[in-house]
Amino acid sequence: MSFKVLLLDNVDPVCAEIFERRGIQTDQPENVTLDELKRIIGNYEAVVVRSATTVDAELLQHSNGLKIIGRAGVGVDNIDISAATTKGVLVMNTPDGNTISTAEHTCGLIIALARNIPQSVERVKSGGWDRKKFMGTEVHGKILGIVGLGKIGSEVALRMKEFGMDVYAYDPFTTQDHAGRLGVQLVELDELLGLSDFLTVHTPLTEKTRDLVSLKNVSKLKKGIRLVNCARGGIFNEQDLVPLIEQGIVGGVALDVYSEEPPAPELYEALKHPAIICTPHLGASTEEAQEKVAVQIANQIADALENKNYKGSLNSKSISLLTNSEVQPYVELAEKLGLVSGQIMPKNANNFSFEYTGICTKYSDVLTDAILKGMLSQYVDESVNLINARHYATERGFRLSETNKSDDKNYNDLITIRLGDSSDYKQISAAVFGPGDYRIIEIDGFGIELRLEGDILMYQNIDRPGMLAAVAGKLASQNINIGALSLGRTAKGSNAITAVIVDKKLNNEELQSIYNLDGVHNVKYISLS
């Protein structure tokens, strides 16, 4: 059977060469309009895009012949994976091709910030000199802070250590062993902000990472800190950057990514500040990177079309699960349970045990993938899915144990996660109660029935009269409404666990007010919204 592939977004010519060698026909039209794309996309078995083309549900309605969407690069924000999965279309990316290029670009921006290279180049080209104005600083002996010690962050660490920098990092999912091999010291986030002469971020944009640096947290920042962002726009509050510089808090900023690309007019104004250097999302824009991802995606698509291999697929398991109604709810349960575990587990933990009973034993492999997807989703700077979750877990040094049991004394079909003896909450079990109804049923031997939804405040307390009233009163005083609650205890007068579903996301100040209550400890906030 002959296949046809549509190449868009000026993907490197080597992509077409690889397809041709493998007997696959390609078309690479230029300047295709959306209407034209809707008209022709159904004629192809596969399409390759970079970041310019958006493959959404509307476009997919016109793609009845399409089998594969290939992203020549890492990010798949421009591809509606859910819509593609529903239509039975594989989505592939090339997560490793851009690592070195992005790491090198980050290092280049660090040096450029330290030595005022772009500003001084512009001055000389305009006929000036002003050597004293562009006095810089050495990076040797300075502290580099890295938020996110995945592939790119690790490569940055290795390179900047060779420049003589002392490297510290925050990544709750990187093990001490991994950091030790890199010569990096792991610290808490607030400590990192206060230590760092230079700070670079390599993490996804989530509610936890949005506005990581802003006017609101100036007290945490080392005076004169220089900021670098080659990850996701919005991690630094872009509107606050100029005030932070003019107040003397931030010594300089280097940006390669923006919350809106190209930037909005008001941001363009801010970017004119002489202490800000900026590039147009060039992290992956090297000849080598573009050639690597083009070669990789061509071979991956050719293998898939020939039913040889599905490496790089982001949704192949999801597609197979769409037709299996038996396993679907347990996959959703596992992912939610993983998301909870990721928010209550100790920092830098690496030993986890997953136990399955009843029907879950039939699907333990994919359920482990789903748990890991949930655990890692807020911390990995790529799209985590059922296909690559184990890869990222292994990369971070996770050690996993999986056990199947025939049954449980109270529940037939159960998933249990053990987070280790150092965790405030060591073991958590959950079950499916009905369509869309997923509940935690036990935590550390405490029987508790908690729906896995919304925003959850969980804490341990001394089992005595008035404890719930004290917490409820403190929440009420901050205009926080309780939507539901669940209590668990082992015996009268012993410790108890309480979980409260609240009607809003909680900030650190609101959480601290609960922690300050007498008799309350191990306070955790879990967001599933």
Which H or E element spans position 39? helix 34-40
Task: Name residues whose C-beta falls within 8 Å of residue 226's C-beta, 6 or more positions apart in sequence.
Answer: 110, 113, 114, 197, 198, 199, 250, 251, 252, 253, 254
Confirm if 8 and 48 have CB atoms less than 8 A apart: yes
Residue 436 to residue 333: CA distance in whole angstroms:
9
First to last CA, the chain: 46
How many CB atoms within 10 Å of residue 411? 18
Catalytic residue among 58, 261, 269, 326: 261
- The residues that bridge with 168 in the sheet, in sequence order, are 145, 185
Q: 232, 396, 418, 451: which is the annotated catalytic residue?
A: 232
DSSP assigned state of 264: P
Distance CA 134, CA 252 (A): 13
Q: Where do we find the tokens 């300047």?
A: 31
* DSSP string of 161-189, one letter each residue: HHTT-EEEEE-TTS-HHHHHHHT-EE--H
Of 22, 115, 210, 281, which residue is the catalytic one? 281
Virtual torsion, Cα 134, 139, 142, 144, nearest 10 deg: 110
CA-nearest of 265, 224, 267 to 244 is 224
- Classify residue 324 as exposed, middle or buried by CB count within 10 Å of its CB (0-12, 13-18, 19+): exposed
The tokens describing 396, both together, are 């971070």
Q: Buried b / exposed e across 370-390, counting CB within 10 Å, b at 16+?
A: bbbbbbbbbbbbbbbbbbbbb
Are 381 and 152 within 8 A, CB to CB?
Answer: yes
For this structure, is 281 an active site residue? yes
Q: Is 232 one of the catalytic residues? A: yes
Residues 6+ apart with CB under 8 A from 121: none
Q: Are 317 and 375 in contact (CB under 8 A)?
A: no
Strands 437-443, 427-434: pairing is: antiparallel
Q: What amino acid positions are annotated as catalytic residues?
A: 232, 261, 281
